[in-house]
Amino acid sequence: MNQSKKSDRGQLGIGEKINKLRESRNMPLSSLAAKAQISSRVMSQIETGQIPPGLVTLANISKALNVGMDFFFTKKAPMDTMELTRVNDRITVKKKSHSDHGDAHYDYQALSYRLKDKKMETFLAQFNESPGIAPLPVAHSGEEFCFCLKGEIDFITHDKTIRLMPGDSLHFYSQTPHVFKKASPATATALFILLPGT
């Protein structure tokens, strides 16, 4: 994954933005955690910047707070009809350590985060954890698309496992709890497109 100039989630202030929005809506932390399908402990760690939210968790938090996912990646005014993102403009969210909990067991880059009123959310994810980890299954409303660019990735639900190889793609309704994880020792990279439900 190409490194962006903006690679520190602390500089993005994702956790701080979540905290301020939640408090401005007089929403208890436990309530937001429940809507995001994570524990209050993990929600607190996200708000204090100890760990990053995974893509699905961020989608659920965004929906609960009634903002687009792009809100957490930029302070600039949105672009009206077109957005060009150069490689150095990508914003990267990295795991802090191998001890991070929740669904953020990968690093990810926001590929589009400034287009006004957009419906799709696009990300490039790099799975570099051990294939032996057990990330938490999560769900969100809407649709999700994954295109495997490099390595091997398993898509796991309660009753099935589908292995994606380079060039494979998977499009699915994302209400079923699911998780993606690296399936082999080599680093895996995938393009994700999320279309959150209303």
Question: What is the torsion angle, in degrees rounded to the nearest 10, for the CA atoms of residue 25, residue 29, residue 30 and residue 36?
Answer: 80
Domain segments of the chain: what residues?
Answer: 9-196
Confidence of residue 155 (pLDDT cuts 50, 70, 90): very high
pLDDT at 96: 61
CATH number given to 9-196: 2.60.120.10
Percent of the chain, pLDDT > 70?
87
Cα separation, 151 vs 82, in Å, equals 32
Average pLDDT over residues 58-80: 86
pLDDT at 6: 46
Confidence of residue 146 (pLDDT cuts 50, 70, 90): very high
pLDDT at 1: 64
Q: Sheet harboring 188-196: ordered strands across?
A: 91-93, 107-110, 121-127, 188-196, 142-150, 169-173
Question: What pTM did the predictor assign?
Answer: 0.80
Average pLDDT over residues 79-91: 88
What digits encode the pLDDT tens for the residues 169-193?
999 999 999 999 999 889 999 999 9
pLDDT at 5: 45
pLDDT at 125: 95
Confidence of residue 102 (pLDDT cuts 50, 70, 90): low
Which residues, in sequence order, are bridge partners of residue 173?
143
Q: Is the dihedral of CA 47, 78, 64, 38 positive or negative?
A: negative
Q: CA Rg, the chain, in Å?
A: 16
Q: Compare 92 and 145 and report the one with higher pLDDT.
A: 145
